[in-house]
Amino acid sequence: MLRSLFVLSLAFALPAWAQTLSHTLPNGLKVIVKEDRRAPVAVAQLWYKVGSIDEQPGKSGLSHALEHMMFKGTPNVPSGVFNRTVSALGGKNNAYTNRSETVYYENIAAANLPEVLALEADRMQNLNFSNDEFLNEMSVIREERRQRTEDSAAGKLWEHIYLNSFTKPSMRAAVIGYMDDLHTLTAEDLRNWYRQYYAPNNAVLVVVGDVDAARTIQTASELFGGIPAKDTPPRNDLTEPAERAPAYTETTSAVTRQPLIALSYRVPPLKQLDDNIPYALDVLADILAGNSSSRFDSRLVRGKQSALSVGASYDLLSREMPLFNITAMPAEEVSEHALIDQIRAEIRDIAENGIGKDELSRVQKRAYADEIYARDSMSAQASLMGRLETRGFRYTDEAEIRRRLQAVRPSDIQAAAKLLTDNRSGVVVVKPEHR
């Protein structure tokens, strides 16, 4: 759900002289720098437009595995030195991979930003890991999969949500990859992936902090400008039908005492700024489960006490067809199917009867208040700009998207609820193994 990103995305009102500048280098790297002078720190995020939806059958987990190997050194910066350098400068760094992107980030004293950017520019073009390091890291990744997916009820649930909802391999596979593939990936597979997708014209650099925007763009140009652009491979065809026969699957987990359920609907993403339904879907997620006064919380958790928890999520900005996901845990003595029926009844009530202006107003006022109180995260500001730029929009579209979220009407919410039909749906149930 994008609203939580917007909640964290804005800075406290900045001085009038603070500015945001962007520039695309001749090699295709887009650089965005936002000045935020409240503290002498800066956040740098380097977004590569490659994730699990770009992978092929038998090679799942490539993007995530390469993320790990990006810390294994270059001829200039041996394995482990990147992290030690950032730490010695008093900063923090990490990375993550999702379905659409791989992102590397550093939080650093603003004065040390050029040194961090130099490290990123070096590993954009000079990654050089050994076969032994690859084999060691793949053991780490397989253990990570065991902990986060196979030994986690929630992890199993989310993996099966995508397996159950889609038919194309690139849409179904987990970001971390299937265990069989994690045993057969080779070091050369990762090197080829790096050569194909790690290029300036397939990346966006975002900096937010106590910096001079023009000078920072010049620094980025000097560090990254000499890296050649590449021809990236054709992207996978991610199109899937929104409507098909309802899908249902069950699995088990030894680490939960109560069943976990997911009810997922194939819905449209935001493709252009004047689309109405995606904004309404985003607000609908808040109406259903955004806070303690939402419908699921007030009616199912506290009212009927049929659920221990119910959540809803939707990704407004998505390269592929997103899912409107509802996840829940039934209360004791309540069957998973009974709770699914109650969830569907709440959606059907909105589809048939709509919502009142007061209910919508409460959600929108709460969202606006949350935005005001949370205008304090440089990382979130950078993250939203990066997501917009890598998913087909511009960072300057943020204000218009927020405006349109606040302009959603009750009739839009009703139309969005009408999209959540059985022929768009999939159900996943994770049951305790002892049952």
Q: Catalogue all structural domains in the chain, each as residue range(s) with its CATH number.
A: 20-225 (3.30.830.10), 247-432 (3.30.830.10)
H-helix or E-strand containing 216?
helix 213-224
| Selection from 69, 60, 236 nearest residue 149 by Cα | 60
* pLDDT surpasses 80 at 380: yes
DSSP, collapsed to helix, strand or coil, labels residue 386 as: helix
Pairing between β-strand 92-97 and β-strand 102-109 as defined by DSSP bridges: antiparallel
Alpha carbons 62 and 233: distance in angstroms, whole number:
15
Asked which of 32-46, 101-115, 207-221, 371-385 is least confident by mean pLDDT, the reply is 371-385
| pLDDT recorded at residue 287 | 96
* pLDDT surpasses 60 at 430: yes
Alpha carbons 39 and 51: distance in angstroms, whole number:
33
Q: At what angle do helices 277-289 and 410-419 cross, to 10 degrees?
A: 90
Alpha carbons 76 and 294: distance in angstroms, whole number:
54
Q: 71 near 24, Cβ under 8 Å? A: no
Alpha carbons 303 and 294: distance in angstroms, whole number:
11
Average pLDDT, the chain: 94
Average pLDDT of span 104-117: 98
| Selection from 12, 2, 47 nearest residue 386 by Cα | 47
Per residue in 322-363, pLDDT (tens digit) is: 999 999 999 999 999 999 999 999 999 999 999 999 999 888
Alpha carbons 407 and 151: distance in angstroms, whole number:
43
Per residue in 228-286, pLDDT (tens digit) is: 999 989 999 999 999 999 999 999 999 999 999 999 999 999 999 999 999 999 999 99
| pLDDT recorded at residue 292 | 84
* pLDDT surpasses 70 at 372: no
* pLDDT surpasses 80 at 63: yes
* pLDDT surpasses 50 at 8: no
Amino acid at 427: V
| pLDDT recorded at residue 1 | 52
The CA-based angle 149-154-159, given to 5 degrees, is 55
* pLDDT surpasses 80 at 11: no
| pLDDT recorded at residue 6 | 47
Backbone torsions φ then ψ of 399, nearest 5 degrees:
-65, -40
Catalytic residues: 67
Per residue in 185-205, pLDDT (tens digit) is: 999 999 999 999 999 999 999
**Predicted model pTM:** 0.94
Q: At what angle do helices 131-145 and 62-69 cross, to 10 degrees?
A: 120
The pair of structure tokens assigned to 430 is 């994770």
User: 318 Cβ partners below 8 Å, 6+ apart?
Assistant: 100, 269, 270, 391
Alpha carbons 382 and 46: distance in angstroms, whole number:
10
Per residue in 388-402, pLDDT (tens digit) is: 999 999 999 998 999
For 179-190, the three-class secondary structure string (H helix, E strand, C coil) is: HHHHHHCCHHHH
* pLDDT surpasses 70 at 373: no
Asked which of 65-74, 229-238, 295-304, 357-366 is least confident by mean pLDDT, the reply is 357-366
Average pLDDT of span 287-306: 93
DSSP, collapsed to helix, strand or coil, labels residue 154 as: helix
| pLDDT recorded at residue 2 | 52
Question: Regarding predicted confidence, which is higher, 148 or 369?
Answer: 148
* pLDDT surpasses 70 at 375: no
Backbone torsions φ then ψ of 409, nearest 5 degrees:
-105, 160
